[in-house]
C-alpha cells in the first residue's frame, strides 16, 4: 500500500538546518491501522505529510499503490489525494458558515456527481461516525467531539484507500478522544480503510495494529 525507502527531509529555520526525516524506511500494508508515536518535533507530522503527498522528500521514494508520488507533479498529486486519500486534522478545519452536512459535501465540490448522490454519500458518512442527527447544525453548535466526527465524515465521503489523521484527539477531552479512536478503528474494520494516525499520547497506541515510534527524525521501532 505505502512504502517509504531512504526518505530524507530537511528544513531551514532562521539559518539553521533542521533534519526532520533521516533515512526513513517504512512499509504499510493495505488495511493496517498504524499509530505513529513520538515526542513533539520528532518528525511525525513531516512523515505524514510526505506519505500523503502534501510535501515531497528531499531524497528517497514514497510508493503509494505502486506509484512513486515523490516523483509526481502537483496535478497528479492533487488527483491522488482527491481519489485515494482522506485527512483528519487536530483543529477540525470545518467551515464556520456551512452546516455539518455541507462541510462533508464540500469535499466533493465541484464534481461530476449529481447533487442527490453527493447528499446520499454525506448522509452515509455522517451515519458511519454517529453524528447524522447533527447534520443541520453549524460548527459553533457542535461539541469538540462532534466537530471531529464531522471532520471524519468529510474524510471518508470519497471512499479513500487510506486515511491520515494528525493528532486527531489533540483538542479533545479524554472521553471524546477515546470515542474518536474507537470510531477510526470501526471504520478501519468495516470499510477496510488503511489508517495512519499520529499521536504523542501513549494511552492511545493500543488501538493500532502496529506502533511506529519516532525520535529526532528517525524510526526507532
Residue with cell 499509530: 35
pTM: 0.93
**Could you state, in order of their start, the residue ranges of all structural domains in the chain?**
2-219
Q: How confident is residue 112, by pLDDT bands cut at 50, 70 and 90?
A: low
The 10s digit of each residue's pLDDT in 19-76 is 999 999 999 999 999 999 999 889 999 999 999 999 999 999 999 999 999 999 999 9
Q: How confident is residue 92, by pLDDT bands cut at 50, 70 and 90?
A: very high
Q: Mean pLDDT for the chain?
A: 94
> Is the Cβ–Cβ distance between 83 and 75 less than 8 Å?
no
What whole-number distance in Å separates Cα of residue 98 and Cα of residue 102?
A: 5
Residues in Cβ contact with 123 at an 8 Å cutoff, skipping those fewer than 6 apart: 101, 132, 135
The 10s digit of each residue's pLDDT in 209-219 is 999 999 999 99
Instruction: Determine the pLDDT at residue 13.
Output: 85
**42: helix, coil or strand?**
coil
Give the domain 2-219 fold.
Rossmann fold (3.40.50)
Amino acid at each position: 500500500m505505502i512504502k517509504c525507502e531512504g526518505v530524507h527531509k530537511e528544513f531551514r529555520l532562521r539559518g539553521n538546518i533542521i533534519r526532520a526525516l533521516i533515512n526513513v524506511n517504512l512499509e504499510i500494508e493495505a488495511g493496517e491501522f498504524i499509530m505513529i508515536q513520538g515526542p513533539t518535533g520528532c518528525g511525525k507530522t513531516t512523515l505524514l505529510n510526505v506519505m500523503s503527498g502534501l510535501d515531497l522528500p528531499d531524497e528517497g521514494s514514497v510508493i503509494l499503490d505502486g506509484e512513486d508520488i515523490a516523483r509526481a507533479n502537483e496535478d497528479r498529486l492533487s488527483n491522488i489525494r482527491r481519489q485515494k486519500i482522506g485527512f483528519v486534522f487536530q483543529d477540525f478545519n470545518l467551515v464556520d458558515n456551512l452546516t455539518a452536512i455541507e462541510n462533508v459535501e464540500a469535499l466533493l465540490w465541484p464534481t461530476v456527481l449529481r447533487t442527490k448522490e453527493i447528499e446520499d454519500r454525506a448522509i452515509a458518512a455522517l451515519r458511519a461516525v454517529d453524528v447524522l442527527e447533527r447534520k443541520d447544525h453549524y460548527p459553533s453548535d457542535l461539541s469538540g467531539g462532534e466537530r471531529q466526527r464531522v471532520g471524519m465524515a468529510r474524510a471518508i465521503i470519497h471512499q479513500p484507500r487510506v486515511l491520515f489523521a494528525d493528532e486527531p484527539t489533540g483538542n479533545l477531552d479524554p472521553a471524546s478522544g477515546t470515542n474518536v479512536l474507537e470510531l477510526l478503528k470501526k471504520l478501519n474494520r468495516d470499510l477496510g480503510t488503511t489508517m495512519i494516525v499520529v499521536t504523542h499520547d501513549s494511552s492511545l497506541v493500543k488501538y493500532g495494529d502496529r506502533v511506529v515510534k519516532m525520535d529526532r527524525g528517525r524510526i526507532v521501532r
